[in-house]
Structures are given as C-alpha cells and as structure tokens.
Amino acid sequence: MQLDWSSIPRASNALWEGFQFSISLTAFAALAGIILGTLLAMARLSSIKPLSMIASGYVNIFRSTPLVIVIYWFYVVLPFIIGRPIGAEHSAYVTFAIFEAAYFCEIMRAGIQSIPKGQVYAGSALGFTYGQNMRYIILPQAFRNVVPLLLTQTIILFQDTSLVYVLGATDLFGAADKIAHRDNTLLEMYVTVAVIYFVISFFLSRLVKHLHSKIAIIR
C-alpha cells in the first residue's frame, strides 16, 4: 500500500480551523466547568442537606453516564426545551461545560478538604463569615493544591472534544475525518491528527509534572 502524504499540507487550513474549535471548546468547558464545579463542591460540603443531596446527585449522574450519551441527549433535548435548534457547536459548548463540572467538582472538593480545619476556625475567630473564609483563606489554597489535577482533567477534556464529531461539528478530528474521506487518505490523516493530539497532550502532561513538583516544594 502506497501512502500519499501530499494531502496533509493542502489540508492545513481546514485542520487549523478544526483545531481552533477544539481549543475554544476546551478552554470554555474548562473555565465554566471549574466555576460551576467549585460551586458544586461548596454545595456538596454544605451542612444544608437538601443542597448537598442535589449537588451529590448531579455529580453522580454525570460521572456515571458516558459523555457521548450526554452529548446526544443535550443535542436533542436542549433545542426541545428552548423551542428552537441551537446547532451542534453551541450544543457542544453547553454539554461539555455541564458534564465537566461534575469532574471538576470532585477535584475542588478534594482541594477544599485538604485545607486544615484549624485555618477555618482561625478565620471564624477573626470574624470572617463562611463566604469570606472561602474567598480569602480556603479557595486560594485549594486552587493552588489542585492545579495539577485541574490541568490533568483539562488534558482529558481536550482529548474528549473529538467526540463532538458524532454531531457533525468540525473539530480537529472532525476536520481530519472529512478530509480523509474526501481525498481517500484515511491512514495518513488519522496518523497526522493522532500525532497532533499526542504532542499537545504530552506537552501539557510535562507541564503538569513541573507544576506538581513546584507545589510539592511550596508545601
């Protein structure tokens, strides 16, 4: 079998556009997921039982459901709820943010619980409210402690963005697949896109390892 790599340079613009969407989706889902996940973590640790149970149910449902099913579910149900189609790309943004929040929640919950309770009591002794304790004492330290885990989950998120291909959205993998079938260069294109995913994920994993060592020194 003779491979034709000449199609790769010709496909660079399409791959770049798909890559931009993958990065945009990753960044949005990570940021929204961390914000929502932090709120969920605080709710799970709350002494208010109904709030804690709702947050726990949310996390358990999404962590126990395959992402591809959630993608399809939101793609079908969300337009039905709002009464109009929203498109594959917008549906992907909503789905990934909501889904990833469940995973970021558990990371942030572990970070919050890693802070010694003595610091909470000290803040209360200084007259801090629960919100002030979280804002000024607990959350800054919790974020620092879990930065490597947040980045690790973001790497997984970047890899998972390839699943939007099932909706027809043109992410990096989706662009590569369309070009592969158009030019009949499946092996060449799939190898190329696999290398791109590997290089980016490997670079980020090295960054995670570096940050982990820095945080260990601070501790």
Q: pLDDT digits over 102-118, tens only?
A: 999 999 999 988 888 88
Listing DSSP states for 96-129 in one string gives HHHHHHHHHHHHHHHHHHTS-HHHHHHHHHTT--
Element at 21 (helix H, strand E): helix 12-44
Q: Token pair 């572990």 is at which residue?
A: 110
On the CB side of 188, how many CA atoms lie within 13 Å of its CA? Answer: 19
Q: Structure pTM? A: 0.87
Vertex 152 angle, CA 23 and 35, to 5°? 70
> Which of 101, 93, 54 lies closest to 74, judged by CA?
93
Q: What is the pLDDT of residues 24-40, one digit of tens each?
A: 999 999 999 999 999 99
Check whether domain 7-218 has CATH 1.10.3720.10, yes or no: yes
Domain chopping of the chain, boundaries? 7-218
| CA–CA distances in Å: residue 79 to residues 60, 71, 85, 149, 219 | 24, 13, 5, 33, 48
Residue-wise pLDDT tens digits, 35-89: 999 999 999 988 889 999 999 999 999 999 999 999 988 888 878 887 887 888 8
